[in-house]
Structure 1
Amino acid sequence: MRILRHPPGPQAVAGCILLLVGLLAWFLYGQARGLTWQFDDLINLRGLTRASTQDGLVGFVFGGIAGPGGRPLALASFLADYAYWPGDPWALVRHTLVWHMMTGALVFMFFLAVLRQHERLQERAMTLAAAAAAVWLLMPIHASGILMPVQRMTVMSGFFVMATLVAYVHLRVRLAGRGTVVPILILGLVCGTGMALAYLTKENGLLLLAFVPLVEWLLLPNLAAPGPWRLWRWGMRISFLAVPAALAWRLWDTWSRMQVRYTYDREFSLAERLASEAVILWEYLRHIFIPRAALLGPFHDGHAIWNWKSVLPWLAVLAFVILLVATWRMARRGSAAWRWAFFALAFYLAAHMMESTVIPLELYFEHRNYVAALGIAGLVVVAVDTALRNASSKAVVAVVVLVMGAYHVIMLQQTTSLWGNRLLAGEMWYQAHPSSGRAAQHLSWLYRQYDFDDASIAVLDRFSSAHTGRIDIGMQALDSSCRTGTGAALGERLERLIVEVPELRNPAGVAGTIGRLGGAIRAGKCQGIELERYKALLLALMENPRIQHMPRVRHHVDHELAAIALVQGDNEARLGYLRQAFDDYPSLSGAQVVARLLFAQGRNDEAIAWIEHALARSPDGLSRRAWGVTLGSLREAIVEVERLRSSWKLPGGDDQPGGVDADDHAR
């Protein structure tokens, strides 16, 4: 009996590629199991502790501060991790890894749908799409976005972006050549819904406005319009220009506030940011193509700042312009590889329009390339396919591909395993980025976890000595010295901090440190430091122009001054500081504290007026409703007490109810 043997079909090959790559990615990322929390996790996820109550749930999901949109969908996803917070960061990362895998599946579906529209690539579309998804899934530059728990926001936004692009391509192919407006409205509705979902996970989901036209123009050029041609053509143009137009409008509309942010919150100007980003965009490309595990990580806050007096930023811009022009000219000659090269470059630059231009964000984060690297994955696969078909020696091409693939897998393994060895990672990240205050703080914290107290303080001292004005680091060193009883004389440390206040460089860092330090001083753990000298530090901070222009930081300093007033028995000063802290950065708990203090002092009319003031400052959305319910109940209780108080007036005009002293009244 003769057995017929058939080579596996493209579906089987693609399925095997995706299955093996998925298992490999899961295995490689599993080596990061020992990772720890990172700098943005606590501030964004701490409300998860209170999510077991209705008010806490609403406050956590709709009270996000990571961006202007609040990112409620991303925050809602963390509710599934409630049982693991704050004890198990790996559990949160494992959940994010599932999103990464699902996004990889969408990347495959996107490339499959697009490649089937290219005559020269149709036959190999299934295999090439699987290979492109594999390249994208295993890119080491994605590691920090996946392994930092809070950056699930980036991964989820990428998921919704890819889901929208997949839906767009499939519908676009089906609706091609229709003559009515209805298909255009359907495509607009689908893309608008996807963009809204992506925006509610992270604001750069708005970049879909630019991604869709790029896919339309460069990857689907031969499809007939899905409706009236002029309407479709101008709609695509308007969509692509919407993001740069919105950024230009934002720059003009918020110019004064943006300049305040650059002047007082950042160590670079708008011009310096643009010059630096031109160079950084090339650094990202270097890490995509030739990654190095030691240089990939979460800490880049000490990145070099460039200006336009240097040659390098100009060369970076010129190189991008030359590449865009050259690839476009070659693409117009009909080359599929060059068309993909132009798409990869244009898509990459479009994906950085928001986070790498005028908005005063930090300079460098690797997770900004999560979607930006999409076109590069496609380019790599198409270029390899072209080389294999045209090269005189296919063996050479195959060897190069295998070597580069193995190199990237090894780099991903080294990166994830480094994250899993938290102490080694902290030391290597600080060694690779000695100008990063976060790297120094992270290493110091790790040393403290292992009871290496002297080493922990030494790291902070070394960094603060080398970087004048980093009072936030000096305050952490003082706090650690107070708690461990080691290091230099505490009084001398405090006096040095007071002297350096005018040179303060990182005001935001003060907010994260001052509460712990103040608590240690008030608890008597800082021998040799008088409360008045600590108060002098706080007052000096309040005089610093950087802090004067940062309400959120003033909020924390005011709370510390209020705590000192409590210790000193000055209730009126305490109320004043707490009111100012609320006005600087309104919070429901802050409003409640002030109202209850006024009520406890029998100042019911002031308490009611304060509640009205607080309600006027409440946030929008469901959070406003939560504020209204909580503060409204408190107001009704005070009004009822005041009504009873009035009904208890004694004859003769005595306002004090008989048999009820002030303490009972407050209760």
Structure 2
Amino acid sequence: MQNRFAAPLLLLALLLATLAAYWPGLEGGFLFDDFVNLPTLGATGAIDNWPTFWRYITSGTADPTGRPLALLTFLIDARNWPADPLPFKRTNLILHLINGALLYALLDKLGQVVTSDVRRSRAAALLGAALWLLHPLLVSTTLYIVQREAMLPATFVLSGLLIWLHARRQLVLGQWHEGLVWSVVGLGVFTVLGVLSKANGVLLPLYAVVIETSLLHSRQPIPSVRGQRVHRTVIWLLGIIPATAICVYLLRVGAIGILHGGKAGARPWTYAQRLLTEPRVLLDYLSLLWLPRPSSSGLFNDQYAASTSLIQPLSTLPALLVVLALIAGAWRFRRRYPSWSLALLFYFGGQLLESSSIALELYFEHRNYVPALLMFWPLGLWLADTRKLKLLKQSLALALPLGLALMTHARATVWGNARTQALVWAQINPDSPRAQANAAQILMQSGQPEEAVRRLQALLATKPDETQLAFNLIEAHCLTGGITQADIDAARLAMQGSANTGSLFAHWFERTLPVATAGSCPGLTTKVLLDLIDAGLQNPKLAGAGRQQDLIYLRGTVALASHQAEAALRDFIRALDLQVRPALALKGAAALGSAGYPKQGLSLLEHYERVKARRMPPRFGMSMLHEWVLSRQHYWPNEVAHLRHQLNLDARAANVNTGPSNPDQSVTR
């Protein structure tokens, strides 16, 4: 009876220990990409009816699929925006605990293939799951709300592999029909579910192939001829072929990128440089996994230097050789050391999509969440074999999870305090513009703008093209008495050299324009803002239609804030013509109406009606489905009609109050 309940009770204790370790982090707030992705919860109204639900669930833009299952889970926590971060973090933590329980089940299944000792298998599974669950590196996935998109594929990968292992066991027992059905569910259905959460869910077939070739093929053969035929068909159709297709796709992306020879989009490095850099990144990840520490660089890795050749930096070639040696060695010794080989091949296979040729950012800790699932299982098997060094192994089996739990608790405590988090990350990443800009914002909110100025000036001197440093420096100097010509020149230089301002400039601009129009910051005027916009418009790195549209629209908002309605209308029209988007037309027209210029707002809507046939076509994937949903709901025509009706009412009221001779109310036709 005791043995029967020992494993479930120990697993429950592990989950409770993980809950306690993470608990301080639940007090933290939203961060960075949270503000990019989560506002879609209220983008077209509160999600309290089916039309808004379908608009929301198809609104994703990440990956061709739009990650609708990840979006669906956010509805557990909120139906509108802004929202409270606590429910989101709580759900992430619950999901992490569920993944830990699933991992225990998977490791126990695999352990039964390696050893006939059930107690050792379960002890190894518990230790492997414990070291993964409590590892401090995973804090930056679990407590970073938007990275639920990285956690959900783990749920479906683990579930899919468990179902596939059950199916394979049915084939071993001669139940080929049940084995076929469950194989299709595990490797087919759950791969689709994983992909609908995030693209790296597509690696589930590769994981199955790795497990099959490293462990099961030689240790758990299928006796019946029919079962072998079914299994071979499943492995080829749902495993080898999809895995090969992924590899071919990645090779094609890399080859085209290298042959093209240019930068990878707005990235500061080329495809070839990324491929040279990633072995260094992978070894850095492995170092963090096997030599854990209470703190790490967190979300700020923009200072990570790309490799420009095999010897620049010098660690590039050795890192490449070590990674290749680890992969080759794992494959060569997969029968002699199956658990270690499986853990390594699983890890490098899991990094295939995000750490190879696709032009993502170079480094993010959350990319280890799924690949590291099996990483500590071989150690667990060794510790659970107490025939030798029993006392040492038992001591380590207690000390290692406890040590990881303490480090995770320390890191979660930092994540639960925005000020501490920002300052710690800035200290760890002194050369990261993102880290220093984030710390500066926290310091300004805390009434320490002088310290913010010191941080920003120190790094801006070495990174003059970093707009986030220059813009935040203006904001900090506004709090210390006003800006100087040197601040303006630094911001202009940054706008002239920046490769990608993203949404940073727009968000800063929205905060700064009211300050400039009110004259509450000496030296900061609307003319200064226009000067910065013009510098961006002349920057060849920002010559794309999307960037130009954003900047020209901001020119219009400056003109509108200066009560120059006709100039604002011209800029809004010019911006709209670059990429015809109904959302931009509505935004501009609403802004004109709210500022007291309804006739100009109507003119903008009339211009949109004339050019709407040139609307940007949706991208392949979820964007096309989203456009179809909007079309079926007549969403944009209804929104335009509603706004036009309101603007007409406002225009008639303005005519009654001011008469037609008011020059501000005239519209040039």
TM-score bracket, shorter-length normalisation: 0.7 to 0.9
Q: Offset of 1:213 from its aligned partner?
A: 0.9
- 5 Å-filtered alignment, 1:352-367, equals 352-367=351-366
- Look up the equivalent residue of 2:635 and give its one-letter code: T
Q: Does 1:625 align with 2:629?
A: yes
Which stretch of structure 1 is more off in the superposition, 521-530 or 247-256? 247-256
In the alignment, residue 269 of structure 2 is paired with which amino acid? Answer: F
For residue 305 of structure 1, report the CA deviation from its aligned partner. Answer: 2.5
- State whether residues 334 and 342 of structure 2, in contact with CA within 8 Å, keep that contact through their aligned partners in structure 1: no
Q: Aligned to 1:468, what secondary structure does the other structure show?
A: coil
Structure 1 window deviating more from structure 2 (571-580 vs 432-441): it is 571-580
Counting only pairs closer than 5 Å after superposition, residues 233-632 of structure 1 correspond to structure 2 as: 234-235=236-237, 236-251=239-254, 262=264, 265-295=266-296, 297-307=298-308, 308-310=310-312, 311-332=314-335, 335=336, 338-386=337-385, 388-389=386-387, 391=388, 393-482=389-478, 484=479, 486=480, 489-508=483-502, 509-549=504-544, 551-567=545-561, 571=565, 573-579=567-573, 581-582=575-576, 588-593=582-587, 600-601=601-602, 606-614=607-615, 619-626=623-630, 629-632=634-637
| Displacement after TM superposition at 1:219 (Å) | 3.0
Does residue 205 of structure 2 align to residue 212 of structure 1? Answer: no
Describe the superposition over 1:102-148 as per-residue Cα deviations: whole angstroms up to 9, x where unpaired.
Answer: 11111122122222233444453333323322222111111000111
Is residue 13 of structure 1 aligned with residue 6 of structure 2? yes
What secondary structure is seen at the aligned counterpart in 1 of 2:283? helix
Identity of matched residues, %: 23
Higher mean C-alpha deviation, range 562-571 or range 407-416: 562-571
Amino acid at match of 2:221: L
Quote the Cα distance in structure 1 between the aligned partners of 2:415 and 2:604: 55
Equivalent pairs counted in the alignment come to 629
Aligned residue type for 1:446: I
Unaligned runs of 5+ in 1: 1-5, 642-659
Q: Which has the higher contact order (CA 8 A, sep 6+)?
A: 2
1: CA distance, partners of 2:477 / 2:555: 22
Q: Distance in 2 between matches of 1:14 and 1:179?
A: 29
Q: Residue 117 of structure 1 contacts residue 220 of structure 1 at CA under 8 Å; is this kept in 2?
A: yes
Q: How does 1:651-662 map to 2 (within 5 A)?
A: none
Q: Hey, what's the Cα distance between the residues in 2 that align with 1:422 and 1:147?
A: 12
2:341 and 2:549 mapped to 1: Cα distance? 48
Cα drift, residue 193 of structure 1: 1.7
AA aligned opposite 2:35: L
C-alpha contact (below 8 Å) 1:157/1:202 kept by paired residues = yes
Instruction: Find the counterpart in structure 1 of residue 595 from structure 2.
Output: none
User: 361-370 or 574-583: which moved more?
Assistant: 574-583
Q: Which secondary structure does the structure 1 equivalent of 2:29 belong to?
A: coil
Deviation at residue 217 of structure 1 after TM alignment: 1.9
Give per-residue Cα distances to partners, 1:201-246, cap 9 Å, x unaligned.
Answer: 1111111131121122223222325535664564443233121112
Check the 8 A contact 2:184/2:234 in 1, yes or no. no
Is there any run of 5+ residues in structure 2 with no aligned partner, and where?
A: 593-598, 647-658
Mapped partners of 1:639, 1:135: distance in 2: 60
In terms of mean alpha carbon deviation, does 130-139 or 340-349 score higher?
130-139
Give the match for residue 88 of structure 1.
Answer: 84
C-alpha distance in structure 2 between counterparts of 1:192 and 1:33, whole Å: 35
Trace 1:15-94 onto structure 2 (pairs within 5 A). 15-50=8-43, 51-53=45-47, 56-82=52-78, 86=82, 88-94=84-90
Alpha-carbon distance change, 374 to 501 in structure 1, aligned in 2, over 3 angstroms: same
What amino acid maps onto 1:21 in structure 2? Answer: L
Which shows bigger deviation, 169-178 or 464-473? 169-178
Question: Against the structure 1 CA distance between its residues 448 and 133, is the aligned structure 2 distance closer, same or farther, given a 3 Å change threshold?
Answer: same
Task: Give the Å deviation of 1:564.
Answer: 2.4
- Which residue identity is paired with 1:244? C
Separation (CA, whole Å) in 2 of partners of 1:491 and 1:518: 18
Residues 177/578 of structure 1: CA separation in 2 closer, same or farther (3 Å cut): farther
For 1:513 and 1:125, locate their aligned partners in 2 and report how far apart those are by CA, in whole Å.
Answer: 55
- CA 1:442–1:533 in 2, change beyond 3 Å: closer, same or farther? closer
> For residues 609 and 505 of structure 1, do their structure 2 counterparts lie closer, same or farther at Cα, with a shift above 3 Å needed?
closer
- C-alpha deviation, 1:496, in angstroms: 2.6
Any idea what SS the aligned residue of 1:363 has?
A: coil
| AA in 2 matched with 1:320 | V
- Secondary structure of 2:76's counterpart equals helix
Partners of 1:480 and 1:67 in 2: CA distance:
37
RMSD of equivalent CA atoms: 3.4
CA distance in 2, matches of 1:634, 1:87: 25
Counterpart of 1:166 (choices 138, 158, 162) is: 162
Q: In the alignment, is the contact (CA less than 8 A) between 2:299 and 2:364 conserved in 1? A: yes
SS of the equivalent of 2:267 reads coil
**1:156–1:585 distance in 2 versus 1, CA, 3 Å:** farther
Letter in 2 for 1:368: R
Conservation of the 8 A alpha-carbon contact between 1:172 and 1:226 = no
Q: CA deviation at 1:87?
A: 5.4
Aligned partner of 1:103 among 93, 99, 103: 99
Instruction: Decide whether the 8 Å contact of 1:31 with 1:420 is kept in 2.
Output: yes
The one-letter code sitting in structure 2 at the alignment partner of 1:223 is P
Aligned residue identity for 2:275: L
Q: Distance in 2 between matches of 1:602 and 1:322?
A: 66
1:395-430 Cα deviation digits (max 9, x unpaired): 223334433333222211211122223322221211
Q: Take 2:570 and 2:453, find their aligned partners in 1: how far apart are those partners?
A: 36
Letter in 1 for 2:112: R
- The residue that corresponds to 1:223 in the other structure is 221
Q: After alignment, is 158-167 or 189-198 more displaced?
A: 189-198
Q: Which amino acid aligns with 1:26?
A: L
Work out the CA distance in 2 between the residues paired with 1:541 and 1:223.
64
Q: Distance in 1 between matches of 2:54 and 2:140?
A: 29
Task: Encode CA deviations 1:29-84: one digit per residue, 9 max, x unaligned.
Answer: 01223323211111111222345155654444322234332212112211222279
Pick closer, same or farther for the CA change 1:514–1:35 going to 2, 3 Å: same
Counterpart CA distance in 1 for 2:561 and 2:667 is 24
The answer (yes or no) to whether the contact 1:143–1:415 under 8 Å persists in 2 is: yes
Higher mean C-alpha deviation, range 230-239 or range 106-115: 230-239
SS in 2 for 1:173: helix
Deviation at 1:200, TM superposition (A): 1.6
Instruction: State the alpha-carbon separation in 2 of the partners of residues 80 and 182 from structure 1.
Output: 34
Tell me by how many angstroms 1:376 deviates.
0.7
Between the aligned partners of 1:182 and 1:26, the Cα distance in structure 2 is: 38
